[in-house]
Amino acid sequence: MNDVRPTLRKARTGIPGLDEITLGGLPAGRPTLVCGGPGSGKTLIGISFLVNGAVLFDEPGVLMSFEENAQELAQDVASLGFDLAGLIEKKRLVVDYVHIDRSEIAETGEYDLEGLFVRIEHAVKTVGAKRVLLDTIDSLFAGLPNETILRAELRRLFRWLRDRNLTVVITGEMGETTLTRHGLEEYVTDAVIQLDHRVLNQISTRRLRVVKYRGSYHGTNEYPFLVDEDGVSVLPLTSLALQHEAPAERVSSGLERLDEMLGAQGYYRGSTVLVSGTAGTGKTTLAAHFADAACKRGERCLYFLTEESPQQMLRNMRSAGLDLKRWVDGGQLQFHADRPSRYGLETHLVMMHRAVEQIRPDVVVFDPMTNLLTIGTPMDVRAMLTRMIDFLKMRNVTAVFTGLTSAGSDLETTETMISSLMDVWVLTSLEEFERRRRRWMYVLKSRGMAHSDEMREFRITSGGIDILPPHTAEGGGR
């Protein structure tokens, strides 16, 4: 295809997720407005853009801070791992604290804001800056008596910044009926990002939305973002296209006989597996076999636990003959244990993303996935899992999710929403027969392969799961 549209040059923010939503970053050489209420994270996003520019992209920056002085700023961002003082010393960053106190200023006659221009220009020249953050320009409205002059000068300032090809982030306070309290969106027409911080069901979620991005496609959803000791990261909720690869490579389920049921070769690499069943059917043990096999192959496994502690899980698996501790000690198996109720769904999603990005596993287990239903509606959980699965598939990570089916509930209705996302669905069940509980498993579906349609009996022994051969299962012979 011939694409003749001129491509807009973009400046990467280095904020995970934000560059994906904006398809490459903020418009280079132009101003972007970041607006939101108090505490919504405007300054943090702006500073991340500056610091990442200086550290990652060889684009030094200038911070014109209208609200906080250099010491206050350095303290605020030190918890995010940013070393402003170090960057200033290395001449990668200039912080100029702009303070105006209306009470000590008298006004008589005509003036302009050339002093601000001179200061910005001086700072830009000092470090050869390519990026500028103006945080928060609203303070000027409180500090200067003549709004007419101020508005004319702001208009001139943004033209001036564009003429110098500076990539600029301007932060602005949210307005009641307008995007910003002082209508800054009037001056910044290239890109506008809106931040929101709300608390629902006592769980706080930060969200980000690209309201406008002239000349570029961008994701239009509200995207949750997270601020923690690793900085800011935004979570693209839905990938923009289903474009992950579908590798033909196979990985073992960890059980030879289950592999046999799956076209004799196990799961496809990068596929998503649901193992569901009522309590005590052996779902975790099945997942643990999968993790164990991955580690044996020399792969890395990330194991999310939403109910048990890692210690408890390791002990239980040891009694089933699976020594997972050696993989933990060797660093191949890492646990990530959190109660779902600690955070909102989206925060969980962001944290899972981050764990996957840091640990870079080959396989992931989420046990049990159904616990997420305690903090969101099935629709929300499904939406979240869709994003998680997309993300894992993009990275070619094979994932096993366990799902607890509550006894008596209709399996089809409770799990249909989620199972349709899965490539493979393995069902486990218990059946009482002659005063003994017998375990069964069968492959309900497995996309893209001929799979067994048999119900197979299995036992959990001190040597792990033992799937009985079809002919010897009681009552199962042909």
Partner 1 sequence: MADEVFDLRLYVAGQTPNAVRAFANLRKICDEHLAGRYRIEVIDLLEDPQLGRGDQILALPTLVRRLPEPIKKIIGDLSNTERVLVGLDLRPRQKGPHD
List residues near partner 1 by CB under 8 A.
96, 98-100, 104-119, 121-122, 140, 143-144
Helix crossing, 70-78 with 42-56: angle to 10°?
A: 80
**Alpha carbons 370 and 417: distance in angstroms, whole number:** 12
Nearer to partner 1, 104 or 410 (CB): 104
Nearer to partner 1, 77 or 157 (CB): 157
Beta-sheet pairing, 222-228 with 203-213: antiparallel
Nearer to partner 1, 140 or 424 (CB): 140
Nearer to partner 1, 72 or 112 (CB): 112
Which residues make Cβ contacts (< 8 Å) with residue 422, sequence separation at least 6?
A: 272, 273, 274, 401, 445
Nearer to partner 1, 146 or 165 (CB): 146
Nearer to partner 1, 122 or 447 (CB): 122
Residue 412 host element (H or E) = helix 411-419
Task: State the Rg of the chain over Cα.
Answer: 28
**Is the peptide bond between 368 and the residue preceding it cis, with omega within 30 degrees of 0?**
yes
Minimum distance from residue 153 beta carbon to partner 1 (Å) = 9
Nearer to partner 1, 145 or 469 (CB): 145
E strand segments, 283-332? 301-305
Nearer to partner 1, 100 or 240 (CB): 100
Q: Do residues 353 and 223 lie in contact, with contact meaning Cβ atoms separated by under 8 Å?
A: no
Minimum distance from residue 64 beta carbon to partner 1 (Å) = 10
Beta-sheet pairing, 272-277 with 93-97: unpaired
**Alpha carbons 414 and 396: distance in angstroms, whole number:** 28
**Alpha carbons 170 and 162: distance in angstroms, whole number:** 13
Minimum distance from residue 149 beta carbon to partner 1 (Å) = 8
Q: Which amino acid is at 438?
A: R
Nearer to partner 1, 168 or 369 (CB): 168
**Alpha carbons 135 and 447: distance in angstroms, whole number:** 52
Which residues make Cβ contacts (< 8 Å) with residue 266, sequence separation at least 6?
A: 250, 251, 252, 253, 258, 259
User: How far apart, in Å, do the first and last CA atoms of the chain sit?
Assistant: 58
Minimum distance from residue 120 beta carbon to partner 1 (Å) = 10
Nearer to partner 1, 144 or 211 (CB): 144
**Alpha carbons 270 and 243: distance in angstroms, whole number:** 13
Q: Do residues 302 and 334 lie in contact, with contact meaning Cβ atoms separated by under 8 Å?
A: yes
Nearer to partner 1, 23 or 113 (CB): 113
Q: Which two tokens stand for residue 456?
A: 């197979």
Nearer to partner 1, 149 or 468 (CB): 149
Q: How far is CA 140 from CA 66, 103, 123, 308, 451, in A?
A: 8, 13, 19, 54, 69
**Alpha carbons 141 and 128: distance in angstroms, whole number:** 29
Minimum distance from residue 109 beta carbon to partner 1 (Å) = 4
Minimum distance from residue 82 beta carbon to partner 1 (Å) = 22
Q: Which amino acid is at 148?
A: T
Q: Do residues 458 and 467 lie in contact, with contact meaning Cβ atoms separated by under 8 Å?
A: yes
Q: Do residues 48 and 13 lie in contact, with contact meaning Cβ atoms separated by under 8 Å?
A: yes
Minimum distance from residue 140 beta carbon to partner 1 (Å) = 8
Q: How long, in residues, is the chain?
A: 478
Minimum distance from residue 61 beta carbon to partner 1 (Å) = 17
